[in-house]
Amino acid sequence: MSFAAPRAVTARWRPDEGDGLEHLTLSPEGDEIVARGVVVGERDGHAYGVDYTIVCDRGFAVRELHLGTSAGMALSLASDGAGHWTNHDGRALPEFDGCMDVDLAGSPFTNTLPIRRIDWARSGGRSLALDMLYVPFDSFVPVRDAQIYTCLSAPSEAARRFRFEAADGSFTADLTVDEDGLVGDYPGLFARMPLPR
């Protein structure tokens, strides 16, 4: 199992229930990989629209996260790429020490971050417990969230299959990703949309 070298990619997903859309552009820019996206949807009867920019190094370690809404909500965080976070004023956020990746509510793209960052050949396909910096779209107040990722594909297998689990056992999904590490269909939550040519 291997992934393509970072390249410019555009992708879209729609939720299985309700109205919504995520539109993503992912592109290498110098020594960085930059994800820019817009997520429009609804949760618990509340509509939301969020634009995001996630800046990673070439190994998909998150370095910057920027979120905004047309209503004026905003969040900007930075990481040293080793799990240490600061807010927009440069104040350390020790409550997120060890969180290497971000998880945005309503975004299947953010599953790509740990999938691409981790060297799965070295992990031997074992399950890895990860602490995420999770951002709900209703408040933009980040929280620490324990998740488990397991590579289900053998090293010689062409398919790229992963299991995502909430550490508390409340959710599990088996995901197939493409050569860029982007989720195809996300069972019960999202479907990848074909792009117009």
Is residue 93 exposed (0-12), middle (13-18) or buried (19+ Cβ within 10 Å)?
middle
pTM to 2 decimal places: 0.94
Contact 193, 13 (CB under 8 A): yes
DSSP one-letter code for 111: G
CA dihedral 69, 71, 72, 73 (to 10 degrees): -60
- Name 151's bridge partners: 162
| pLDDT averaged over 10-residue windows placed end to end, the chain, 197 residues | 90 93 97 98 86 98 96 96 96 98 96 94 83 94 97 77 94 94 92 88
Determine how β-strand 62-68 pairs with β-strand 46-57. antiparallel
**How far apart are the C-alpha atoms of 17 and 76, rounded to whole Å?**
29
Q: What is the pLDDT of residue 156?
A: 67
Tokens 């509340």 sit on residue: 46
Looking at residue 158, what is its pLDDT?
A: 66
Six token digits for residue 13: 């997903």
In Å, what is the CA distance from 72 to each residue of 68, 141, 194? 7, 14, 31
| Alpha carbon distance, N-terminus to C-terminus of the chain | 28
Beta bridge partners of 62: 56
What was the pLDDT predicted at 159?
65
Q: Beta strands 127-135 and 101-104: pairing type?
A: parallel
